[in-house]
Structure formats: C-alpha cells, structure tokens
Structure 1
Amino acid sequence: MRAIFILAAIFLFKTNLPEPKAASTTIPLCHTPANAMAELAASPNFRMLHETPRAFRYQGAGETVSFPAPDGKTASGFLLKSPKKSDKWLFVYQEWWGLNDYIKQEAAKLHKDLGDVNVLALDMYDGKVGTTREEAAKLMQGASAERLAAITKGGIQYAGPNAKIASIGWCFGGMLSLQNAILGGRRVVGCVMYYGRPENDIEKLKSLDTDVLGIFGSQDQGIPPATVSKFEEDMKAAGKKVTIKMYDAVHAFANPSNPKYDANAAADAYQLSLAYLKKKFG
C-alpha cells in the first residue's frame, strides 16, 4: 500500500513540472572583423612589425579629388592625370598608415614610369593618417569592410565605364588591391599585391578576370610563407593564375619609411611590378 502512495506522489510531481523549453534555434550573432586584416591589427606582434615612419613631405604634382561612393557618402583620392586623355587607370592602395606622403610619392613615381596612365591613390581612411603604430592599428581596425568596398566601387565608377584598371598596394593595401580586382570585374586588367592578406574564399577568387602578381617576404611574420602557399593553392582551385615572388625580407620591406627597408629587394620588386603593369596596359 505504501508503494502505491509513493508511485502516485511521483506521478503527481512529474505532471506538475513546467514544460521544458525547446532549445533555441537562433544562431548567436558574432562580431566579425571590420575587414580581413583588422584581426591582425589587434595583435601586438603584428604591430611591432611596423616601424614608425621617418618624417617625409611630398611636394610634387597631383591633386585631391572627390567622388560619390555607392553608400551615399563622398570618397576621395590623390590623382595624377595622364599627360594625354587615357582610359588606363592605376589604383594605388595605401599601407595601414593611410594615404600619407610616402604613398603619394610612390604614386607619382608610378605615374612617371607608366606614361599615359591615370594614377589614383584612394583614401581608404577618409582623410585620417596614422603616424604611430597605435594610431595605424586603430584606423585599420575601424575601417569597415562595407566602407572600404564602397570607396573602391566609387573609384571604379569615377574612372568610367571604359576604364582599364589595374591596382597595386602594400600591406593593408595589398589586401585591398586584390579586393579591387574582385570587385572591378571585367574592367580590371591587372593586380599587384605586396604582402597583404590574401582572399581565402575560393568562390570570390573565381570571379577574378585577371591574374595576380603577389610579392612577399620569407621573413614576414604577419603574412608568413604558409599563408602565401595556401593562397597559391586557393588560386589554383579557383582556376586562376597567380605569380608569387618571394624575397628574403621582412614585412614592409619595400617601404622607404621603414628603418628595415630593403633597397635591393624593393628595387627588384618595383621593376617586376612595373614590367607587369606595362604589359597589362599594353
């Protein structure tokens, strides 16, 4: 009899329990990096790969231009026009420091050596420039992928529907140069990327209408050789051509403002890039 009472009590206890809640099927939102290199900027080790730039002021030709971007905001860049009317355009993408005078100087050098090509150094930080590691890291972390894409698309629209566009960039700009090639479609004829983080989405790489020239350093601890090898594999999987030139050098070896600047490697890389771009522009 006692056993019957115990069983009845257990039954009543169970029936009065609240119904268990169904497991949530909502996927929690995660905060993705603002851009593919923002995560690197948060790393103290990556920051230490960048020496504080030496003081320099560019005093040559060129002008600041503004143009609408598809996000409804205005974008800008530093433009050196072709001596004669031309639909050839080279987009120059800054390092993580921003569109500083060193980038303007490099744009002017390319403008002189390429001849009848419009050279536009896009301002990817909307007027901001970092002069210390901490400032540059914050700027790169704060650059949203959407705004970066909008500035690039605005530049492509500014160049015009008949433009033949190639791009070149270093570090942060190396990544952006490759993104330019992905976003620009058939108007893009060439892409040079110096030690920037490669795109690892093979479907995006499949959309490329150009080959890529990648320039890297074997001693680069930010974009190490293993990352470069993976990029080669991904490009092969996407059915696209990439030419890799690996120098025995550190990250940012081609930046003259870097105390670890490698003049010989930088000169060789520049000539390689110049020959590639001249061939692409015809």
Structure 2
Amino acid sequence: MKKLLLLTTLLFCGALTFAQSKKAVVCHGPLPATQQFAMLAASNKFVMAHKKPLPLHFQSNIGKAITYKTSDGKTANAFEFKAKNPTNNYLLVVHEWWGLNDWVKKESEKIYTDLGNVNVIDMDLYDGKVATTPQDAGKYMQGVTEDRAKAIINGAIAYVGAKAHITTIGWCFGGGWSLQTTLLAGKQAAGCVMYYGMPEQNLAALKALNCDVLGNFANKDQWINTKVVAKFETDMKTAGKKLYLNQYDADHGFANPSSPAYNSPATTAAYGKSIAFLKARMK
C-alpha cells in the first residue's frame, strides 16, 4: 500500500511539473512577426526561391543620400526625395531583403512623382549593406536586430518631425517592417501599404493601429501564403481595423521587374491601388 501511494504521488508530481512547464512555454507567446520572417532565411529552400536579381543601375537626379541620428547613439543612412513645396506629407519606405538598392530608389522616385507633393524617405535597415546574391540577402536579413531596426525607424520618425503625416510602404522583408513602422509612428500614422510581408500577429499591437492598411499578397507565395493572409484578415477584423486586401495569382516578389518572379499584370494592378490608397490619405 505504501509503495502504491508513493508511486501515485510521484506520478501526480510529475504530471504537475509537466503541466507547469508547458504553461511556462505558452506564456512566452509566439515570436514577433519580424523575427519569424527573418528565421525563414535559415531555410535553404526559402533562400533559393529568391532568384538572383537581374542587373539594374539607376542614378536619381532628384533624390540624395542623407544620414540622421538614431536613439542608440549611432547614425542611419537613407535616401530622400524632398517635396517641391513645403508639406507635412511623408512616405517612409522599407526595402526588400536585398537592401536599399537601385530598384528601391527607382521605385521610390516613381512613387514620389505619381503621388505629387510628398517627401519620400528610403530607410536603410541594413546599415549600408546591399546583397546581390540570395545567400548574402539571407545573411543580412538574419543580422537585423529588433532594437537596431526600431532605432533606425524611430530616428526617421524624429527626423520628419512631430507634425509629419506619415504613410509607409515596403516589399518582402520591408512589407513586414512597413507595418511595424506604422505601429511605431503611433498617432502620426496615416496609411500603410505592405507587399507580401509578414503580418503582425499580436492582437494588442494591431488594436493600437492608428490607420488603415492595404496588403498586396501573392497566392503562389509558399511562406506568406493564403493561410497566413487569411489569419491576418481575421485578426484585423477582430482588432477592429480596416484591411484592404488584394491577392494576385503571382509569386513572392512579383512587383520587382529585376526579379525572375516579376508579374506585370499583378504589379500594375497592385501599384495602381497602392497609389490611390496613399493619395487618399495625404493631407
């Protein structure tokens, strides 16, 4: 009888310890969306799905390289297109996983021209590094720390000033960080455009959004796939926020002409809707 009692006690204690350990794990919650996307670079399949971009050289006659201070005591690089006339309208741009390359600058100049009187700032979350191979891009993306990225973004928000009316746009890696930039902008946020980026999955964070979001996603995307997008749509509804959802019969990276995954019809449609969305939210 004593042996049976002892065995029962040991089993109960073991079960209790196991339950408590599981509870402790659950309490930590899921990884932040930006870290989830960065971890994808550990997958060779994900890395090799991003084909080496076609050569592109672009020299802007109206934009210029700038630097600004960040809260961690460092400086950040950026590329700026200043509005022709003084305005508080600002578009903060976040690059793809390749870095702040010539395609991003060229696309930003096009957006700058099509939006009209607006200031456009291409932020550099890679601190000057630009990848030309999938392997380097994966390495640079994994090397981005949450603290440094947020310091760069908050530095840009401080640079544009407290009166700035802030919209954001980004692709791939930058698609997820476009949404994070909007969250960091707080009440200054006016609109967010994200192309096939990892959505925020924390409902409390989404409830703090101060503006609408337009998402351009690819149905053939194996990672930011239709299930991920469907959950984002549900989460936004639960949070009481407006999501303008556009889904195309295309693959991840469809909007970049230098990418082998480029899809012209999807790019044209997504770009037109994105410009209309941003224009409607500019003062």
TM range (shorter): 0.7 to 0.9
CA contact (8 A) 1:81 1:119 kept: yes
User: Does 153-162 or 58-67 show the bigger shift?
Assistant: 58-67
Shift of 1:144: 0.3
Mapping of 1:173-192 within 5 angstroms? 173-192=174-193
Mapping of 1:143-182 within 5 angstroms? 143-182=144-183
Pair 1:157–1:36, CA change in 2 (3 A):
farther
Matched AA of 2:258: S
Shift of 1:44: 1.5
Q: Return 5+ residue gaps in structure 1 as ranges.
A: 1-22
Mapping of 1:202-213 within 5 angstroms? 202-213=203-214
Distance 2:183 2:275 in 1: 21
In structure 2, the residue matched to 1:35 is 35
Distance 1:251 1:178 in 2: 18
Higher helix proportion: 2
In structure 2, the residue matched to 1:45 is 45
Distance 2:205 2:234 in 1: 14
Shift of 1:273: 0.3
Matched AA of 2:176: M
Distance 1:45 1:158 in 2: 39
Distance 2:72 2:214 in 1: 30
Distance 2:49 2:99 in 1: 16
Distance 1:235 1:60 in 2: 38
Distance 1:215 1:40 in 2: 20
SS of the equivalent of 2:179 reads: helix
CA contact (8 A) 1:97 1:130 kept: yes
Shift of 1:280: 0.5
In structure 1, the residue matched to 2:105 is 104
Distance 1:50 1:86 in 2: 38
Shift of 1:260: 2.0
- TM-score (ref. length: structure 1): 0.88
Q: Deviations over 1:17-73 (max 9, x none)?
A: xxxxxx9x99899xx788331111111121122111111111122111111111111
Shift of 1:138: 0.3
Instruction: State the 4+ residue runs in structure 1 displaced beyond 6 angstroms.
Output: 25-29
Distance 2:110 2:43 in 1: 32
Q: Deviations over 1:83-129 (max 9, x none)?
A: 11111100111000000000000010011111110000001100001
Larger Rg, first or second structure (1 or 2): 1
Distance 1:146 1:48 in 2: 28
Distance 1:222 1:247 in 2: 15
CA contact (8 A) 1:49 1:222 kept: no
Shift of 1:272: 0.5
Shift of 1:258: 0.5
Distance 2:110 2:42 in 1: 32
Matched AA of 1:258: S
CA contact (8 A) 1:177 1:193 kept: yes
In structure 2, the residue matched to 1:6 is none
| Structural RMSD (CA) | 1.8
User: Does 67-76 or 200-209 show the bigger shift?
Assistant: 67-76
Number of equivalences: 257
Q: Deviations over 1:124-153 (max 9, x none)?
A: 100001110000000000100111111111
Mapping of 1:4-23 within 5 angstroms? none
SS of the equivalent of 1:36 reads: helix
Pair 1:86–1:181, CA change in 2 (3 A):
same
Matched AA of 1:230: K
In structure 2, the residue matched to 1:4 is none
CA contact (8 A) 1:196 1:223 kept: yes
Matched AA of 1:270: Y
Matched AA of 2:201: N
Distance 2:186 2:243 in 1: 17
Q: Return 5+ residue gaps in structure 2 as ranges.
A: 1-16
Identity over aligned pairs, percent: 47
Mapping of 1:1-282 within 5 angstroms? 35-61=35-61, 62-282=63-283
Distance 1:243 1:272 in 2: 10
Distance 2:120 2:181 in 1: 14
